[in-house]
Amino acid sequence: MFIVTSYLTAVILCIITMICWGSWANTQKITSKEWGFPLFYWDYTIGIILLSLIFGFTLGSSGDLGANFIENLAQSSFNSISFALLGGIIFNIANLLLVAAIEIAGMAIAFPIGIGIALVQGVLVNYIAVPDGNPKLLFSGVLLVTIAIVLDALAYQKIGSKKSTSKGILVSICAGVLMGFFYRFVAASISENFEIIESGKLTPYTATFLFSIGILLSNFIFNTLFMYKPLSGKKVTYSDYFKKGSVRLHLIGILGGVIWCTGMILNIIAAGKAGYAVSYGLGQGATMIAAFWGVFIWKEFKNAPEGVNKLISLMFFLFISGLTIIILAKL
């Protein structure tokens, strides 16, 4: 299987992860006026599974190092499979809750609370499990990125976000706590040595595929609840998915899943050299990419009041500074 052999390559893959994780939501934004999010989410899940299989049968089955995708899947232990599936289940409910929180409380409240908690907790949990890298640099970088996320929230408030509610804040906290744990479960299923896979343990490619299965299986519970008992918005049904969904809408949803899964696989592969804490921390810099889309592509701050541009500039500066320090933590 393909294995990262240099830290520079690992950093590049983590940067691609940032781009992917910060960009997939654009596909949902494109379809939001025609297509309810829970319906979009089914296609998004299909996209994740399809790409995990493609990576498994290509990069995950090439070369002499590691283990072949199918062979590794066949010899995987119950514990490893369970950890990967659980990671998918936890991620799924966290992701659905985060989107619901954004709809209830607005981007300015939900995103910094949810992603801020996920970033700090995720890096801490993964560092405690596998203490790799300079902790002072690592958490200094995390602090700067967290401040940047807060500035992002303030900027959105300036242009008029939805009024926050205690319900929205509570949902945001739940989403953040869960999001901060999913990655550790997936990492726990993977062999510490990528070149010689431990008995019963998974390769990054096998783990990502099982992770995607966890998302799909839990979708029948969690996403069904969001369809018929939404925390906000209108109820949708399974018949809506088949009757109202055009080929274009389905393909855009699948593309969203492909984009997100590309980031996930590259991030897990990169962790072999960067370490899980650094890899996850860089990946969650996706908030900067999402902000970039909002500022420069969607023109969300076009008519922003005076002072917002300075806030945005400072936000990007802190993001870049924090991510640079996180990278230096492993050198």
Sign of CA dihedral 68, 71, 74, 78: negative
Q: The domain containing residue 233 runs over which residues? A: 7-13+27-136+161-274
Question: Percent of the chain having pLDDT more than 90?
Answer: 75
Q: What per-residue confidence (pLDDT) applies to 302? A: 85
Average pLDDT over residues 60-80: 96
Q: For the segment 244-287, what is each residue's pLDDT rounded down to a tens digit?
A: 999 999 999 999 999 999 999 999 999 999 999 999 999 999 98
Distance CA 273, CA 26 (A): 30
- Is residue 265 a contact partner of residue 204, using CB atoms and an 8 Å limit? yes
- Tell me whether residue 141 is exposed, middle or buried, using C-beta atoms within 10 angstroms of its C-beta: 0 to 12, 13 to 18, 19 or more: buried
Distance CA 213, CA 269 (A): 19
Q: What per-residue confidence (pLDDT) applies to 21? A: 93
Residue 99 has pLDDT above 90, yes or no: no
Asked whether residue 81 is domain-assigned, the answer is yes
Question: Percent of the chain having pLDDT more than 70?
Answer: 97
Q: What per-residue confidence (pLDDT) applies to 60? A: 97
Mean pLDDT of the chain: 93
Q: For the segment 7-52, what is each residue's pLDDT rounded down to a tens digit?
A: 999 999 999 999 999 899 899 889 988 888 899 999 999 999 999 9
Q: What per-residue confidence (pLDDT) applies to 165? A: 66
Q: What per-residue confidence (pLDDT) applies to 160? A: 66
Distance CA 201, CA 292 (A): 38
Distance CA 120, CA 181 (A): 11
162: left (phi over 0), alpha (psi -120 to 50) or beta: beta
Asked whether residue 153 is domain-assigned, the answer is no
* Sequence letter at residue 61: S
Asked whether residue 248 is domain-assigned, the answer is yes
Asked whether residue 319 is domain-assigned, the answer is no
Asked whether residue 280 is domain-assigned, the answer is no
Average pLDDT over residues 281-309: 89
Q: For the segment 208-251, what is each residue's pLDDT rounded down to a tens digit?
A: 999 999 999 999 999 999 999 998 778 999 999 999 999 999 99
Asked whether residue 287 is domain-assigned, the answer is no
Query: Crossing angle for the helix pair 276-283 and 135-158, nearest 10 degrees?
Result: 20
Residue 199 has pLDDT above 90, yes or no: yes
Q: 161 falls in which pLDDT band (50, 70, 90)? A: low
The total domain count for the chain is: 1
Predicted TM-score of the model (pTM): 0.94
Token pair for residue 325? 């320090």
Q: What per-residue confidence (pLDDT) applies to 55? A: 98
Distance CA 313, CA 328 (A): 23
Return all residues near 302 (Cβ < 8 A) that are at least 6 apart.
none
Q: What per-residue confidence (pLDDT) applies to 290? A: 87
Distance CA 109, CA 118 (A): 14
Asked whether residue 141 is domain-assigned, the answer is no
Asked whether residue 167 is domain-assigned, the answer is yes
